[in-house]
Structure 1
Amino acid sequence: MLTGLPDRQYFATHLENALRRQASGTAVPLYHIRLDALSLISAGLGRAVSDKLLVLTAQRLKAVFAAEDAMVARFDGDEFAVFVANKPDSPDIVTDRHMGVVEASILAAQLPGALEMGEIVVTHRPVVDLATNSAVRSELILRWDHQEHGVIPHDRCVEFTEQTGFSSMLLTATCRELRATPDVPLSVNLTRRQSTDMELVSSALRSWDLNQVSHERLWLGMPLDLLSDANGEAADAHQVLADLGIEFIGLGFTGSLRDLACLERFSLRAVRISAALTNTTLRVANLVHQTGALLIVDGITAEEQADRWRHAGADLGQGPLWGPHGTQAFRLD
Structure 2
Amino acid sequence: MAVTDALLLTTGARDPAETMIMELAAVTLTGLVIVRQIIALRDNNRLLATVDAQLADLRRYQEELEYQATHDSLTTAANRALLERHVAELLAADQLFHLILLDVDDFKVVNDRLGHGVGDALLTTLSDRLATVVGDDGLVARLGGDEFAVVARTEATSVEILIDDVLAALREPAHLFGHTVVTATSVGVATSWVGDTPKELLRRADVAMYTAKAAGGDRRHWFDPAMDRAADESARLSADLRTALSAGQIFAVYQPIVDLTSGATVGGEVLMRWRHPERGLVPPDLFIPLAEQNGCILELGAWILRHACTQAAAWQQQYGDRAPSKISVNVSARQLAERGFVDDVAGLLRETGADASRLVLEVTETAVLTTDLAVEQLHRLRQLGLRIALDDFGTGHSSLSLLLNCPVDVLKVDKSFISGTTAEGAGAIITKNLVGFINDFDIEAVAEGVETDAQAERLRQAGYQLAQGYLYGRPMVVADFERHFAAVSAQVTV
1:16-27 mapped onto 2 (5 Å cutoff): none
Mapped partners of 2:330, 2:190: distance in 1: 41
Q: Going by fraction, where is strand more abundant, 1 or 2?
A: 1
Aligned to 2:358: 217
User: Which has the higher mean CA deviation after the structures are superposed, 242-251 or 302-311?
Assistant: 302-311
Q: Counterpart in 1 of 2:452?
A: 302
Larger Rg: 2
Displacement of 1:65: 4.9
Q: Distance in 1 between matches of 2:368 and 2:198?
A: 46
**Of the candidates 332, 340, 349, which is equivalent to residue 208 of structure 1?**
349
For 1:94 and 1:256, how far apart are their aligned partners in 2?
33
Q: Report the residue type matching 1:203 in the other structure.
A: D
Matches within 5 A, 1:233-252: 233-252=373-392
- Distance 1:70-1:322 versus aligned 2 partners, 3 A rule: farther
How far is the alpha carbon of 1:316 from its aligned partner? 1.6
Q: Mind listing any 5+ residue stretches in structure 1 that lack a counterpart?
A: 1-17, 19-62, 75-90
What residue in structure 1 maps to residue 311 of structure 2? 177
Q: 1:326 to 1:103 in 2, by over 3 A?
A: farther
Greater helix share, structure number? 2
2:442 corresponds in structure 1 to: 292
Letter in 2 for 1:201: V
Q: Structure 2, unaligned stretches of length 5 or more?
A: 1-93, 95-187, 200-221, 317-322, 418-426, 481-494
Q: What is the alpha-carbon distance in structure 1 between the residues aligned to residue 411 and residue 275 of structure 2?
A: 30
SS in 2 for 1:301: coil
Offset at residue 283 of structure 1 (A): 0.6
Q: Secondary structure at the match of 2:340?
A: helix
Q: TM-score, normalised by structure 2?
A: 0.45
Given the alignment, which residue of 286, 302, 323 partners 1:168? 302
What one-letter code is carried by the residue in structure 2 that aligns with 1:99? R
The more displaced of 240-249 and 209-218 is 209-218
Specify which of 320, 326, 329 is matched with residue 470 of structure 2.
320
Q: How many residues align?
A: 254
Displacement of 1:258 after TM fit? 5.0
> Hey, what's the Cα distance between the residues in 2 that align with 1:155 and 1:256?
18
Q: Percent identity?
A: 22
* Structure 1 counterpart of 2:196, one-letter code: M
C-alpha separation in 2, matches of 1:118 and 1:227: 31
Q: Aligned partners of 2:399, 2:357: CA distance in 1, in Å? A: 25
Q: 1:92, 1:194 → 2: CA distance?
A: 33
Give 2:233's aligned residue: 103
Measured after TM superposition, the shift of residue 227 of structure 1 is 4.2
Rate the CA distance shift 1:102–1:241 in 2: closer, same or farther, 3 A. Answer: same
- The Cα RMSD (Å) is 3.5
Encode CA deviations 1:93-134: one digit per residue, 9 max, x unaligned: 333x54333323222222344334432101111112222333
Contact 1:195 1:222 in 2 (8 A): no
| d(CA) in 2 for partners of 1:205, 1:109 | 31
Aligned residue runs from structure 1 range 45-64, under 5 A: none
Q: Is residue 332–residue 367 contact of structure 2 (8 Å, CA) maintained in 1? A: no
Determine which structure has greater relative contact order: mean sequence separation of CA pairs < 8 Å that are 6+ residues apart, divided by chain length.
Answer: 1
Moved more, 263-272 or 288-297: 263-272
Note if contact 1:124-1:329 (Cα within 8 Å) is conserved in structure 2: no
CA distance in 2, matches of 1:329, 1:194: 28
* 1:190 and 1:220 in contact (8 A); partners too: yes
